[in-house]
Amino acid sequence: MSISKKIIAMAVVVITVITSLTVTAFAEEQRYGIVTASLLNIRAENNTQSTILAQAPCGSSLLVYWVDDLNWARVSYHGIEGYASGEFLSIYTVNTDEMPSRGQAVSTKGMAALEVAKSCLGIPYVYGGSSPSGFDCSGLVYYCYQQLGVTLNRVADDQMKNGVYVDKSELQPGDIIGFTSGDSSYISHVGIYAGNGMMIHAPQTGDVVKYESLLTGSYSLRYAGARRIVD
């Protein structure tokens, strides 16, 4: 074989390997976007004059294929493919190439639930509420997991029967945290663990969905346990 042919053959091999690695790397990661607007339009093209194909409410999860230079994301929402403004999406990446361990799988779902909770920060507390128009404590937790296709029990005490028990020393983002009132063992309040000793919750009438510490104040004294959603 001539030197030129050897060089060409080697080049083909190198290109093939690089292409294979690129495809593999792409396959390892999948991006999702959590809607942060009250209602996000999914359009046929990447501009605001384009036809609206669907509308995704706050906290909805969209599959994200890519984001262009104009910050428009190519997305899929309930089987409808179109474009959504990246300005109103909180995008996170999930590694899908390797079969995750139990802990990794939980962490992925928990992080997704936490992203939904973040998108609801500032929404008013409404007794009995479980939508972006207003939340009570268990309504917020119920809504966050509902957006991921997981249906929890609706009442705080019953939500502490969902999933599996988690020791306080092993809390992960997305875990459901329960609190009691007084001497009763009844779970009267729940929140979503956000990491670093913080949670996101809907506290009470007159307040809004917000971050709060588990390490200080009354919540540190009322802590009753945590549950992790694994399905």
Dump the DSSP string for the chain. --HHHHHHHHHHHHHHHHHHHHHHHHHHEEEEEEE-SSEEEEESSSSTTSPEEEEEETT-EEEEEEE-TTSEEEEEETTEEEEEEGGGEEEEEEE-SS---HHHHHHHHHHHHHHHHHHTTTPBB-TT-EETTEE-HHHHHHHHHHTTT----SSHHHHTTSSEEE-GGG--TT-EEEEE-TT--SEEEEEEEEETTEEEE--STT-BSEEEESSSHHHHHHEEEEEE---
**Candidate list 58, 120, 144, 201, residue with the active-site label:** 201
In the annotation, is 120 catalytic?
no
Residues in the chain: 231
**Candidate list 58, 120, 137, 144, residue with the active-site label:** 137
Structure tokens at 116: 């939904």
In the annotation, is 78 catalytic?
no
**Candidate list 58, 120, 144, 189, residue with the active-site label:** 189
CA distance 17 to 228: 41
How many CA atoms within 13 Å lie on the side-chain side of 26?
9
Of residues 125, 139, 137, 130, the one with CA closest to residue 206 = 125
Q: Which residues are tagged catalytic?
A: 137, 189, 201
